[in-house]
Amino acid sequence: MTRIADLYQKSDTDACLFTRRGDMAELLMVDPSTGASKHIYMYAPLRLLEQKLVPLVNKGYKLCDSINCCLADKVINGLEIN
């Protein structure tokens, strides 16, 4: 099953990686410049996590048109290996 990921970024060191796969989703707070996780993580049905994006956007997180390569392992494999 294909993973689809979006990066919502607020600053150079504050972002949220939103990854969807089927009807489930992951929401991970990250430092986009280093790829480091801030250990705030949620895994839940897609419809529930989509609701969590609205407050993040209201707090100033903006959808990015690209994702830094240092986040590639989190996009491809999720947190299962990290």
What's the pLDDT tens digit per position in 11-57? Answer: 999 999 999 989 999 998 998 888 888 877 888 999 998 898 899 99
Q: What is the pLDDT of residue 81?
A: 40
Specify the higher pLDDT residue, 62 or 77. 62
* Model confidence at 82: pLDDT above 50: no
**In angstroms, what CA-CA distances link 12 with 27, 61, 68?**
18, 11, 11
For 35: left if phi > 0, alpha if psi spans -120 to 50, otherwise beta; the answer is: left
